[in-house]
Structure 1
Amino acid sequence: MMPARTVETLFEDLRPGLGSQGRPWFFFLTNQRRKGLIWSRNMGAIQASGDYVLFLDSHCEVNEGWLEPLLERLALKPNLAVSPVLDLIDPVTLGYKKGNELLKGGFDWSLHFHWLKRDLANQELPEHPFKSPVSSGGVLMMSRKWFLKLGSFNSNLKIWGGESIELAIKLWLCGGQIEIVPCSRIGHIFRRHHAFDFPPHSHEQQQQHHQQEEEQELELSPAQATYLHNSKIIAESWLDDYKNMFYALKPAARRIPLNHTFHQLHQLRTELQCHRFDWYLRHVSPELSLMLYEFAATGTLRNEDRCLHHPGVKDSRQQLILVNCYRDDITQWSLFRSTGQLSTQREFCLGVDLHQEVTLKPCLRMNNTASMSQQWHRMDTHLVHNETHLCLENPVQDRLVLAPCRWHAVSQSFQFSLEMERQT
């Protein structure tokens, strides 16, 4: 095995090809200081000399015959990026379990990755390659030339997080596609927690962060700040007007500084004649588009300068408080068009009990008679309970009650960060 080398001190005599015994060379490059996964993968692609680049996490185990199916698809479609089906390796026992080829990659408006169920088309077999809006972040293979032409992973992203979503959007909008190839199987350890720490902010960012904390009571860990930083770059780079959906769900991101311009990105979008993001919603990820039509309103729910929050404690009568709106974990609320239910992301719904007390309980199915207790509608900025015709009110800090509607009462005015339809 060859000794590890730094990128900066790579020996001149290292060159691609076969060694004296007809075996391939392996070059191990290390950074002199921590630069993170995103920068390191970009540098690896630059130093590579083959036709294809393969990104593979260290916590993976390749299965038999994993490579040939990926190469076959790339030979047929040069602008393709391919990913195997990921089998599951238990992080504790290292037991190996077959993955599900009926799942594709996707993300929500908070720019978090999710697996999405897919249905087989007529005469489609489970082993057929299929298109996916996003690949799972750790494992991807594509033409090295095409990867570099797309600008690689966005070099302004920090350490780890969001790079697979950013590249996927860029691929689809700028003339490429992503496929998952079920005949290729690679085992992957899905850890429950990060195996590494995120670095603290730089001195300049720390000063900005402390100032923001004094003004907005921000509560961001280094991991949260990195996620918001990277997600904000994706939103500003590719979502066009739909970035308001992201900011509605992650208002703290508005306070995250970005220390670069988007001039090069605009040049890239022009040169490659990239589509706008609404094309991605129509042709690649209709599931993401459906979220826009399910909600009458979504995002944070503000009353004056505080937002309604569910901290997750057990007593339903004390689950609802009003806090600073710029906390990273602030509760996101969605008012559904079809049911009138006002739900958290944890699938708890705002309701009213027999004593007309405001509660937060698991959302009920609409064929349940009791579900009337969880139905609301908007009148101006008020939330009116369908069953009692009373309005939600915050008469004193951290307390919610039902009261007769008073249309000019500030204590009854609740504003979502994103309204999907005109209020009546």
Structure 2
Amino acid sequence: MKCLVKWAVTFCFIFLGFLCHRAGILVWNPKPSSTDSPSRLKFVVHEGDQDLFALTQVRTADDLAKKDDGYRNHAFNDLVSTRIGNIREIPDTRHQNCLNRQYPSSLPSVSVIICFHNEALSTLLRSIHSVLRRSEPDLLEEIILINDDSNLNESLASEVERHISFLPKVHQFPTEGRLGLIRARLKGAEQARGEVLVFLDSHIEVNQGWLRPLLAPILADPSTVSTPVIDLINADTFAYSASPLVKGNNSKSGSRSRKTVAQIDSSGWCPSGGFNWGLHFKWDNVPPRPDPSEDIQSPTMAGGLFAINKKFFYSIGTYDPGLDIWGGENLELSFKTWLCGGRILLVPCSRVGHVFRKRRPYGNRQGQEDPLIKNSLRVALVWMDEYAVCNQRKHPVCVRAEFLTEIEIGWPEQRENYYRVRPEAKAVDPGDLSERLALKKKLNCKPFKWYMETVYSKGSDLMPIKESQLRTKKDEKYIIRLVGGSVPLCLGVPPGDVASRSTPVGVFPCSRKKEMIWHLTSLDELRLAGGLCLETRVRKEKPPVIGKCHLQRGDQEWKITEKTHGALYNLASGLCLLAPDDVRLKPGALVRMGICDPDERMWEFIATG
């Protein structure tokens, strides 16, 4: 009998562990060992370079194939993302003042809406778990997943459904055909039961204490739209770092401090949303504040991550239903919020990490042109008044928007506006604007001139500071020589190409010319002659090149294992910089990326003044 009870208890523990693992409550993240199967390992992410090396390293052909598939299908390194697992700890990036702020005990309930189209399962599940783990249960009403006709992986919907069946408050809703982000979010809003809608992307990780700071301003003023500070999740390494436009990590985080590219020594700097006359969103940086934890008014928002009172969202007409797929909806909602009685606050004490990709991994619907121009044109014609400006009275767009005619006459020549920057928009039909214009009149919205003079004025302290104030300085200079061989060969580019972007990198007879002087910066960049950066390509077979330094690490981040006889390892690719695959090794031969192998020829890093 005792034996039977013992076996029954053992079985219950095993079964409970299985359920927890399926639900992502427990995640096994062992350290690698010589006997482990590399393709099955999930590594713990730390700030240390050794752990990043283990996490990103490509060890087998299967690893390389998964990495390449991830970049092709999702525009990020899904090999690394999968190794991380569904749950991980991330650094608390809030300013220390945030830890002392008090919020009302009673706050509105929240429906988190996440729309996805062909998202990687690894990032989607980690997004869900981060919201569940770091949100107060009494505030989180539900997580609504809108599966917008994902068709890349036929089993994605069923895999998501199987996983969330073990989780509370998470529901998946499919769409009938591709709606696009804008209409998919509207579908999510229709399903929501919470008082506040929080829209999040499907490749994010919310940070500690993220929710209360977003809700408190909305409780005080329901016409407030609140947005978190967006931290960076590197698309190549999935390293989590504080927003490069904000100074101030939590001193209690306990992780080794790594200063990000645009952090500066004065505390209190914070980003603010802006835009250019082509109606592209951009981040501005605003001057220091006495208290870096205080909320700041923002002229626009990025649009991927924000909280809004549901009643207010519907009172101002939600999103423009005439906008297609993706693009421009953030500025449309930003302008409408400010002009029609609301405001936008950026909340430094709310942090959400976001995977920033270098391209959109999905295209438009078959036969459809890029919707961004049409969308931005609708935004301009409805909300920007004379700042849109039609100067061709008989053009169909100008005829339809009768309030826009020849009103630019008499303006200073230097006045910028939408049509001067986007002349191609004159050939685009924006669709019927009558409903949106009627809404604008019904809400008694302010003119755009008020917005430009009051919210985004050049005299306002919200206008950007110079980027030069944010750049890091160069650290060390090296000539990088290939070890071995009868003729000394060094890493560089052909003479005259030192400033030419996308120039492939090779080996040449060593000299102290600028074509071979590499500056190793505090971001682990290798800048040729202090200018362009050594950059690996997504596909292994393409040789490394020099490209514009983007200050985001990733494909331009290099690790030196040893300066006298070491490897040059790139975290983004998980590969090492190798000698040309040429037995004769002629000068000018191109270097290559490959699986790190101690039998390959190494590099020597010779310091130069």
Given the two structures, how large is their TM-score scaled by the length of structure 1?
0.56
Indicate which of 90, 105, 108 corresponds to 2:273. 105
Corresponding residue of 1:229: 374
Task: Compute the displacement of 1:242 (Å).
Answer: 0.7
Task: Compute the displacement of 1:172 (Å).
Answer: 0.1
Corresponding residue of 2:328: 162
Corresponding residue of 1:73: 217
Task: Compute the displacement of 1:42 (Å).
Answer: 1.1
RMSD: 2.6
Task: Compute the displacement of 1:239 (Å).
Answer: 0.5
Indicate which of 310, 321, 328 corresponds to 1:144. 310
Task: Report the Cα distance in structure 2 between the residues aligned to 1:163 and 1:111, rounded to whole angstroms.
Answer: 11
Indicate which of 4, 16, 25 corresponds to 2:169. 25
Task: Compute the displacement of 1:201 (Å).
Answer: 3.8
Indicate which of 223, 246, 262 corresponds to 2:418. 246
Equivalent AA in structure 2 for residue 235 of structure 1? A
Aligned pair in 2 of structure 1 residues 142, 4: CA closer, same or farther (>3 Å)? closer
Equivalent AA in structure 2 for residue 177 of structure 1? R
Indicate which of 49, 55, 64 corresponds to 2:193. 49
Corresponding residue of 1:411: none
Equivalent AA in structure 1 for residue 294 of structure 2? H
Indicate which of 63, 71, 91 corresponds to 2:207. 63
Task: Report the Cα distance in structure 1 between the residues aligned to 2:387 and 2:460, rounded to whole angstroms.
Answer: 10
Corresponding residue of 1:297: none
3-state SS, counterpart of residue 160 of structure 1:
coil
Q: Name which one, 1 or 2, has greater alpha-carbon Rg.
A: 2
3-state SS, counterpart of residue 334 of structure 2:
helix
- Which runs of no fewer than 5 residues in structure 2 stay unpaired? 1-22, 24-142, 149-166, 247-269, 390-416, 462-496, 500-609
Indicate which of 173, 191, 214 corresponds to 2:357. 191
3-state SS, counterpart of residue 141 of structure 1:
strand
Equivalent AA in structure 2 for residue 243 of structure 1? A
Corresponding residue of 2:429: 257
Corresponding residue of 1:356: none
Number of matched pairs: 253
Q: CA contact under 8 A between 1:109 and 1:288: conserved in structure 2?
A: no
Matches within 5 A, 1:257-336: 257-260=429-432, 262-287=433-458
Task: Report the Cα distance in structure 1 between the residues aligned to 2:292 and 2:308, rounded to whole angstroms.
Answer: 22
Aligned pair in 2 of structure 1 residues 36, 6: CA closer, same or farther (>3 Å)? closer
Task: Compute the displacement of 1:266 (Å).
Answer: 2.3
Identity %: 36
1:310-346: CA deviations, max 9, x gaps? xxxx9x9xxxxxxxxxxxxxxxxxxxxxxxxxxxxxx
Task: Report the Cα distance in structure 1 between the residues aligned to 2:356 and 2:303, rounded to whole angstroms.
Answer: 11
Aligned pair in 2 of structure 1 residues 288, 187: CA closer, same or farther (>3 Å)? farther
Task: Report the Cα distance in structure 1 between the residues aligned to 2:376 and 2:205, rounded to whole angstroms.
Answer: 29
Say if 2:173 is the partner of 1:173: no
Corresponding residue of 2:577: none
3-state SS, counterpart of residue 54 of structure 1:
strand
Q: CA contact under 8 A between 1:82 and 1:179: conserved in structure 2?
A: yes
Corresponding residue of 1:39: 183
Task: Compute the displacement of 1:112 (Å).
Answer: 0.6
- Which runs of no fewer than 5 residues in structure 1 stay unpaired? 8-22, 203-221, 291-313, 317-424
Task: Report the Cα distance in structure 2 between the residues aligned to 1:3 and 1:159, rounded to whole angstroms.
Answer: 19
Q: CA contact under 8 A between 2:144 and 2:173: conserved in structure 1?
A: no
3-state SS, counterpart of residue 185 of structure 2:
helix
Task: Report the Cα distance in structure 2 between the residues aligned to 1:39 and 1:137, rounded to whole angstroms.
Answer: 14
Task: Report the Cα distance in structure 2 between the residues aligned to 1:108 and 1:30, rounded to whole angstroms.
Answer: 35
1:227-246: CA deviations, max 9, x gaps? 11111001111010110311
1:110-152: CA deviations, max 9, x gaps? 101110110135xx31111000011112101010110011111
Aligned pair in 2 of structure 1 residues 84, 3: CA closer, same or farther (>3 Å)? closer
Q: CA contact under 8 A between 1:281 and 1:289: conserved in structure 2?
A: no
Task: Report the Cα distance in structure 2 between the residues aligned to 1:200 and 1:35, rounded to whole angstroms.
Answer: 13
3-state SS, counterpart of residue 273 of structure 2:
strand
Task: Compute the displacement of 1:47 (Å).
Answer: 1.7
Task: Report the Cα distance in structure 1 between the residues aligned to 2:337 and 2:451, rounded to whole angstroms.
Answer: 10
User: Quick check: which one's strand share is greater?
Assistant: 1
Aligned pair in 2 of structure 1 residues 60, 288: CA closer, same or farther (>3 Å)? farther
Task: Report the Cα distance in structure 1 between the residues aligned to 2:147 and 2:241, rounded to whole angstroms.
Answer: 37
Task: Report the Cα distance in structure 2 between the residues aligned to 1:250 and 1:6, rounded to whole angstroms.
Answer: 33
Equivalent AA in structure 2 for residue 103 of structure 1? P
Task: Compute the displacement of 1:6 (Å).
Answer: 8.3
Q: CA contact under 8 A between 1:79 and 1:176: conserved in structure 2?
A: yes
Task: Compute the displacement of 1:59 (Å).
Answer: 1.0
3-state SS, counterpart of residue 281 of structure 1:
helix
Corresponding residue of 1:18: none
3-state SS, counterpart of residue 425 of structure 2:
helix
Say if 2:228 is the partner of 1:84: yes
Equivalent AA in structure 2 for residue 228 of structure 1? I
3-state SS, counterpart of residue 78 of structure 1:
coil
Q: CA contact under 8 A between 1:85 and 1:184: conserved in structure 2?
A: yes
Task: Report the Cα distance in structure 2 between the residues aligned to 1:278 and 1:63, rounded to whole angstroms.
Answer: 38
Task: Compute the displacement of 1:4 (Å).
Answer: 8.1
Given the two structures, how large is their TM-score scaled by the length of structure 2?
0.40
Equivalent AA in structure 2 for residue 242 of structure 1? Y
Q: CA contact under 8 A between 1:173 and 1:276: conserved in structure 2?
A: yes
